Amino acid sequence: MPLHQLLELALRSLPHGPEFRFLDRLLSLVPGQHGVGEYRLRGDEYFLRGHLPGEPLLPGVLLIEAAAQLAGVVAQEDPTAPAWPGLKLTALRAVKILGTVRPGDTLRLEAKITAWLGPLVQARTSAFLADVLLMSAEITLSGASGSTPVEREGTLGKPFPVVQPEADLSIRVPAPLLRNQIIGLPREAVEAFHSQKTAPFDLR
């Protein structure tokens, strides 16, 4: 199958409807590692009527949402990890919005997966207009609370075994992160993680 068709199939993993999709196409994708995509602000989007009248601008929160959608595609296409239903934006850190996006502008979005912890995915994301950095953020995505990972064949990868979050408690995470941001992990897993003091999974 041609590469462009594979990228189109990967893009279909987004659960969002067309009214709330801020990723038009994928330019490159290394499943489970990083991806590059584009979003063009057309000018007829419904939210521009109120943001702002006479001076339409893409809201900053939607700029972050676009990057989070790209990170979700990259994560869900990982052939070595289970697909988590209901993957949602859970936490933000070190967010910087450095510019504005106007109708007619085309954004280049980049996302790099930096860590996994059960249903939690950490990614470093950025958005560019031409070569100008407009936004950078470290984000965390989480599978739905109480959900079960789904065994499936990734669009660009091979089948993989389902791994439950409690299967590997050797991953070490700072206790403050666990208290404030972990969703849907078994209590015994959280308690085991709390006993650890250092970790590679770090949102600094």
Q: Tell me which residues are annotated as active site.
A: 51
DSSP-assigned states of every residue in the chain: --HHHHHHHHHTT----GGG----EEEEEETTTEEEEEEE--S--GGGGTSSTTS----HHHHHHHHHHHHHHHHHT-TTSPBPTT-EEEEEEEEEE-----TT-EEEEEEEEEEEETTEEEEEEEEEETTEEEEEEEEEEEPPTT---B----TTS-------GGG-------HHHHHHH--S--HHHHHHHHT----S----
